[in-house]
Amino acid sequence: MKNLIDIMQMSTEELQELVDRAMDIIANPAKYADACRGKKLATLFFEPSTRTRLSFEAAMYELGGNVIGFSEANSSSAAKGESVADTVRTVGCYADIIAMRHPKEGAPLVATRTAGVPVVNAGDGGHNHPTQTLADLLTIYREKGTFENLTVGLCGDLKFGRTVHSLISAMSRYKGVKFVLISPEELKVPRYIITDILEKNGIPFEEVTSLEDAMPQLDILYMTRVQRERFFNEADYMRLKDTYILTPEKLRNAKDDLAILHPLPRVNEISVAVDDDPRACYFKQVLNGKYMRMALILKLLEVNV
């Protein structure tokens, strides 16, 4: 594997290898402290980010490497009209690996053609976000000890939420997984996810609108933000933004060992009163993201530890 653009590029074995590596990093951090000495990661972020960019950077520092990059398109030559292809061809002369976020779907794939170094998709428009899925998978693994026989509820903006698309793709390969897709009519998962992933592979799923009704059967609840920046008009966003707000009351019918995930940032969809519930895993998920990005950097740079 030279790049990570879509989570489906990785086999089940490769995903498990990354999970195992992350678990070893957690257990033996000192072993990895110099693993990327002399290597540089470039973070090219053409869209806002807190966790993804900073966790990539923290990951590289914890591996003993260095980081260069920019955090907004306006501070790069994109503002002068430079193409993505030329920008990454240039950055490939300076860095050993590139993590790139871009509002246009497919931009990181275009980048792989000229970069000359590994490219990681750190989110492309409303399409995919494979490294968030790595964070999600490690969280599920640490909470549940398995990826199999789980009922996974995804709630909120399933249309524009790129993390949702990547997580469904990844989880669809495990035995006994069932999806409950909870959204308003307007924000249902794109048709291609239903036909090309779920129906094609005979994976059980239901599309529902009520979070409360779905709650009792869930092992995982993946809440998401309504993606304001992908809406065509503000009125639709205002109408839909507070459709689902998870509160302690709504968790009354939930399983005792439910794991509540959210890729963050949270806007309004999880009440802060839920944060103290032992089932809330979204800040653990943040930390898991850093370990999985460390494991991914090691893999793409072919560093043996």
Find the helix packing angle between 130-144 and 282-300, rounded to 10°.
Answer: 120
Reply yes or no on whether 21 is catalytic.
no
Residues 76-115, mask of contacts with ligand NCD (x by CB under 6 A):
----------------------------------------
- Give the nearer residue to ligand NCD in terms of CB position, either 51 or 178: 51
123 near ligand NCD, judged by CB under 6 A: yes
Reply yes or no on whether 129 is catalytic.
yes
Reply yes or no on whether 37 is catalytic.
no
69 near ligand NCD, judged by CB under 6 A: no
From 81-89, 146-154, 196-204, 257-265, give the range in contact with ligand NCD by CB under 6 A.
257-265
Nearest one of 182, 183, 254, 162 to 217, comparing CA atoms: 254
Alpha-carbon Rg for the chain in angstroms:
19
First to last CA, the chain: 18
DSSP state of 220: E
Can you tell me whether residue 67 is helix, strand or coil?
A: strand
How big is the site for ligand NCD, counted in residues (CB under 6 A)? 11
- Strand order, beta sheet including 259-261: 205-208, 178-182, 151-155, 220-223, 259-261
Residue recorded with tokens 């996974």: 152
Name which position in 162, 241, 290, 293 contacts ligand NCD (CB under 6 A): 162
Reply yes or no on whether 51 is catalytic.
yes
Reply yes or no on whether 80 is catalytic.
yes
- Give the nearer residue to ligand NCD in terms of CB position, either 65 or 263: 263
Instruction: Pinpoint the alpha helices (H) of 195-281.
Output: 211-214, 234-240
285 near ligand NCD, judged by CB under 6 A: no
- Give the nearer residue to ligand NCD in terms of CB position, either 49 or 172: 49
Amino acid present at 69: G
Residues 18-37, mask of contacts with ligand NCD (x by CB under 6 A):
--------------------
From 14-22, 140-148, 174-182, 261-269, give the range in contact with ligand NCD by CB under 6 A.
261-269
The residues in 207-236 that bind ligand NCD, with binding defined as CB under 6 A, are 225
163 near ligand NCD, judged by CB under 6 A: yes
The one catalytic residue among 101, 159, 165, 241:
101
Burial per residue of 5-41, b for 16 or more beta-carbon CB atoms within 10 angstroms, e otherwise: bbbeebeeeebeebbebbeebeeeeeebeebbeebbb
Alpha-carbon distance of 165 to 169, in angstroms, equals 6
Residue recorded with tokens 């898991």: 288
Residue recorded with tokens 């239901």: 206
Name which position in 52, 133, 139, 169 contacts ligand NCD (CB under 6 A): 52
Minimum Å gap between C-beta 49 and ligand NCD is: 6
263 near ligand NCD, judged by CB under 6 A: yes
Q: Which residues are catalytic?
A: 51-52, 80, 101, 129
Q: Which residues bind ligand NCD (CB under 6 A)?
A: 51-52, 123, 129, 132, 162-163, 225, 263-265
